[in-house]
Amino acid sequence: MADDASTTPHERLLAAATELFYREGVHTVGIDRVIARAGVAKATLYSTFGSKDALIAAYLEIRHREMRERVDQAIGRHRSSREQLLAVFDLQIELTSDPEYRGCPFANATAEAHAPSADAAADAYRDWLRETFTALASQTGASNPRTLAQQLHLLWDGAAQSARMDRDQHGAWAARTAAATLLDAALPTA
């Protein structure tokens, strides 16, 4: 990444970290690689973030924000609460179909680096995802939205893991089908 006058060193460091950490892993990629990719001095990294752990936290914060935006956009394309809930799984199908998909960045980061910031970022992301599934399940009128949300979250995690470990994007399709079945079963009968 060339030194671009239109971006700050902070932005270049985050862009480099986001690219390298997701593609290769937070533990594998050293600070020197991030610095070289960003085109900044080592002192700039430490004056901007203070540590690699803080840079990892910032990277995960970006990934969380991006996922929230993508989920909100996917949900916003639909009017019915059923289709809004299933839109989250449609998004997962899209994500796992990308040849650059490397799995959940939060699962990857916490598996590689048991840094407090990575754990805290993963906890925040997972809390948000559970809350999102619970809210969507509630809006459908599901008889037990928390239970349904837990089931949906497990499907989401399983499909992401399958896509990463098995390099099989069909798991996301299966998760969407299972989510629809669980949702239909959770709705009160007329």
AA identity, residue 73: Q
Q: What is the pLDDT of residues 81-129, one digit of tens each?
A: 999 999 999 999 999 999 999 999 999 999 886 778 889 999 999 999 9
The pLDDT value recorded for residue 5 is 61
139 burial via Cβ count (<10 Å: 0-12, 13-18, 19+): middle
**Residue 101 region, left (φ>0) first, then alpha (ψ -120 to 50), else beta?**
beta
- pLDDT of 2 higher than 60: no
What sign has the CA pseudo-torsion 68, 74, 80, 83? Answer: negative
Read off the pLDDT band of 190 (50, 70, 90). low
Residue that has been written with the tokens 């896509």 in this structure: 163
Please give the DSSP secondary-structure letter assigned to residue 189: P
The pLDDT value recorded for residue 116 is 82
**CA gap 64, 86 in Å, rounded:** 20
- pLDDT of 181 higher than 70: yes
Q: What is the pLDDT of residues 25-66, one digit of tens each?
A: 998 999 999 999 999 999 999 999 999 999 999 999 999 999
Residue that has been written with the tokens 């030194």 in this structure: 3
**CA gap 185, 116 in Å, rounded:** 39
Element (H, E) at 157: helix 145-165
Q: What is the pLDDT of residues 134-175, one digit of tens each?
A: 999 999 999 999 999 999 999 999 999 998 888 877 889 999
Nearest 5°: the CA angle 179, 181, 184 is 105
**CA gap 100, 22 in Å, rounded:** 9
The pLDDT value recorded for residue 133 is 98
